Amino acid sequence: MSTAGAFLRSLQNELGGSIPFHRFMQAALYDPSFGYYSTRIHTVGRRGDFSTMATLDRSLALGIAAWIEKNRACDVIEIGAGSGQLACDILASLGWWKRLRLRYHIVEVSAPLREAQKKLLRGRRVTWHESLPAALDQLGGHAHIFSNELVDAFPCRVFERTDTDWQELHVRIEGGRCQEILRPCTIPESTVFQQPFQAGQRVEVHESYHCWLEDSAPKWKSGAMLTIDYGDTMPALYHRRPAGSLRGYAAHQVLTGADLYQAPGRCDLTADVNFSDLESWGEQQGWRCLSHSTLADFLAPNLPARFQTAAEAFRVLEQSPHPGIA
């Protein structure tokens, strides 16, 4: 039996016969011995399993560099820097004087990606940190923070509407195969449950990101934060998407249904981000929403026409830790 198979079977026994989907996703992506981001991924982009906006076009780097300049940011933290390409392009886009004053920080959980970033950014003034709270501690809480396609990489809980209530998606391993089953549940805090849905609708909630935000928020004192990801606000997020948005990527192929469970640790798993949740979870921390737009609007007029449709499926949320000042 594979390391992943043995681990998941023992987790299933420990949890009483099935694994909530987010626990499966946590293991498949981040388990130290077989998780996709811990052991398998070596880069992001054409030579990896999936591309991101950052690896396809420099317009994202130009937009973020302009944001850094506009905010006169001195300490910038990028969370989840992938191949390091975005950092490389942002630093190259900034003027010489700005580069001289800027201190660029990266928070990265994936050891293989941290190595790739260090190789690509050799000779640049970049500092790596284990976690956002650790980075903020070192900076006294003063920083401009951004991420691209980070939130979608956090494990999500998956729920299905039945005729009477919401049930949670679990994975059960039987005879060497993973099966999806629904189990009764308590629902987490999310704007998704404020909508009336028809029976059969599936939705995802990035509860682990909410917990991560609650851990990091008290350390953040000033600056602004840009969160860029694919997704939408409610109710548009699930318009004509009864099966939800859960999917996987391997070798640039999209995986859905049973294919998600074929090889835990050997493909990326992801779901669209509910930006209504991000706004609401930020407000709970006392944060102010400074702006919220599509990526197409954020990058206009520098976005090449061939990326217009793709960039309309992404959103950019800008928040500040103070209700009154940025």
- 8 Å CB contact between 25 and 8: no
Residue recorded with tokens 């704007």: 191
Q: Does 150 interact with ligand SAM (rule: CB under 6 A)?
A: yes
Phi/psi of residue 156, nearest 5 degrees: -120, 150
For residues 99 to 118, the per-residue mask of contacts with ligand SAM, x marking binding by CB under 6 A and - elsewhere, is: --------xxxx--x-----
Beta strands in the chain (DSSP E): 19-20, 75-79, 103-107, 126-129, 144-148, 157-161, 166-174, 177-184, 202-205, 225-232, 247-250, 253-255, 268-270, 273-274, 288-294, 314-320
Which of 73, 116, 153, 217 touches ligand SAM by CB under 6 A?
A: 153
Task: Note the residue count of the chain.
Answer: 326
Shortest distance, CB of residue 173 to ligand SAM, whole angstroms?
25
Antiparallel, parallel or unpaired: β 75-79 and 103-107: parallel
By Cβ distance, which residue is nearest to ligand SAM?
80
Q: Does 224 interact with ligand SAM (rule: CB under 6 A)?
A: no
For residues 182 to 221, the per-residue mask of contacts with ligand SAM, x marking binding by CB under 6 A and - elsewhere, is: ------------------------------x---------
Q: Does 149 interact with ligand SAM (rule: CB under 6 A)?
A: yes
Site for ligand SAM in 36-65 (CB under 6 A): 37, 44, 52, 54-55
Residues in binding contact with ligand SAM, number by CB under 6 A: 20
Please state, in angstroms and rounded to a whole number, the distance separating the CA atoms of residues 289 and 224: 10
Please state, in angstroms and rounded to a whole number, the distance separating the CA atoms of residues 278 and 268: 22
Is the CB of 40 or the CB of 170 nearer to ligand SAM?
40
Q: Does 300 interact with ligand SAM (rule: CB under 6 A)?
A: no
Please state, in angstroms and rounded to a whole number, the distance separating the CA atoms of residues 30 and 155: 9
Residues interacting with ligand SAM, by CB under 6 A?
37, 44, 52, 54-55, 79-82, 86, 107-110, 113, 148-150, 153, 212
